[in-house]
Amino acid sequence: MPQISPPHPIAQPAFTPIPLSNLSVFALFLFLLLWPTVILAEIRVVAAQGEHRMGERDTREDAVRLATDVAKRNALEQVAVYLESVTVVNGLDVTKDEIRTYTAGLVLVLEQSTNTTLDGNTIVVRTDLVAQIDTDDVRQAITALRENEDARHELVALQEENDRLQQDLAAANQTLAYASTTEQTQQAAQRRQDILNRVRANAMVSQAWTDWVLISPVGAPSSSLQALLNVAQGLYPTSSHVQAAQRTIIARQPPSPPQPPVPPAPGMRQPTMPRHRIMPAQGSQTAPRTLNEFTYSTPPHRQPTR
């Protein structure tokens, strides 16, 4: 009669199994722990346009500057409306105006183009921008600015002055359009140039404050802040905002060691740029600029299209 062997014992697991209900609770806890980071780290891309209808006394360069300025304001307004509606500002008790004031230095310009068309007998210059904002950067900036009274006060003052300058700009445009003599035309044109330069200088100072607030906890401000303020001072020599930024920002960074000049390569010519124009050359590989850093560039002259 064949012998029947006893069954082999089944090996027991070396660990105690976790009930499925406990695993579900743990997964839910982990999700809630990471949820704020996932929600806040959101990228928003906006497209904005600005145009200027040229009058008889407008130059092409002025028209590009004016159209670009409108496009920048439209992009910033879209960003402010969006940020006001998302989680990143909930609980921070900030208004849309405050968001617009604090975030201009964080909106990156990804693409820009300027085109000229004809609308009847009127030349229309149009600037298109594609820009983006990182909501996590906004949260960090608002938190940092709330802890820095100097920067917050200056950014608010700069925004208020730029709002007044926009009203002055509209008045200057009207004065230029109705100027009846050569002297009146020159005075109105110069007045408009001064206003545009002040707006540009204030944007640069705002950028310097934003950059300084974000990098000051981790290190000394870079030389780029000094460069921004130097250009701003050239545009607006009597600006009290530039002086305030220099006292607070530049005075707190250690002096850079002197660097020996680098001679140009044989046969190479040092590049030059028109005054107050800080755009990189076409085709150069540079990081995207913010709305505050973004400036105008007169496109090559082409026959307007209908």
Report pLDDT digits (tens) over 188-225.
Answer: 999 999 999 999 999 999 999 988 888 765 555 567 88
Report pLDDT digits (tens) over 237-266.
Answer: 999 999 999 998 877 654 444 445 455 455
Mean pLDDT of the 20-31 span: 50
Q: What is the pLDDT of residue 288?
A: 64
Checking if the pLDDT of 226 tops 70, the result is yes
Asked whether the beta carbons of 208 and 239 are under 8 A apart, the reply is no
Checking if the pLDDT of 50 tops 50, the result is yes
Percent of the chain with pLDDT over 70: 65
- The sign of the dihedral angle between the CA atoms of 23, 24, 25, 29 is positive
Q: What is the pLDDT of residue 3?
A: 54
The length of the chain is 306
Mean pLDDT of the 94-123 span: 88
Mean pLDDT of the 116-143 span: 91
Q: What is the pLDDT of residue 213?
A: 87
Checking if the pLDDT of 272 tops 50, the result is no
Checking if the pLDDT of 274 tops 50, the result is no
Distances (CA, A) of 88 to 29, 82, 137: 21, 10, 10
What is the rounded CA–CA span in Å between residue 162 and residue 101?
Answer: 11
Give this prediction's pTM: 0.70
